[in-house]
Amino acid sequence: MDLKSLIRDIPDFPKPGIMFRDITTLLSNPQGLSYAIDSLAEKCSAMSADYIVGMESRGFIFGTPLAYKMGLGFIPVRKPGKLPSAVHFAEYELEYGVDRLEMHRDAMASGSRVLVVDDLIATGGTAAATAKLLQQAGCELVGFAFVIELQALGGRQKLPDVPIVTLVEY
């Protein structure tokens, strides 16, 4: 299946000069969504993860059904102030400032094997911050999985040396 044909290009969003890759058209296509989840599960099965971690918010969209498909638990990584219990946190740089991600301290046991999932890797900041959260938790990062990779932005160079699975490259 050609997943790229199910991803809508929106020029000049959210600002001029940006080509936004809109996954809502992929999500609304039952065959495309099933194919994306099945493909990620197939490509990631050898990583032998215990959990899938997905970043707010589109990482939830792909991470949760992937966890279900693979028979794994799902752990959400959230923006600040969204989790009710004690958290690990990691800050990362944005174009104009700093942001922060959080994960419950008791989300999984130290030594757990974790696969990080998101819809897209661009500059790699969010994924790299999530890897730091897992390090704080004493977990083993076994890989990353993304539906889309924007190769020109070099995000994978910011990530630890583990397998990286992508389904569509631009």
Q: Known catalytic residue: 58?
A: yes
The catalytic position among 21, 58, 78, 149 is 58
Q: How many residues appear in the chain?
A: 170
Report d(CA 116, CA 143) in Å as an integer: 6
* Cβ atoms within 10 Å, residue 15: 7
Report d(CA 4, CA 148) in Å as an integer: 9
The catalytic position among 21, 78, 93, 95 is 95
What 8-state DSSP symbol labels residue 35? Answer: H
Q: Known catalytic residue: 105?
A: no
Report d(CA 122, CA 111) in Å as an integer: 28
The residues annotated with a catalytic role in the active site are: 58, 95
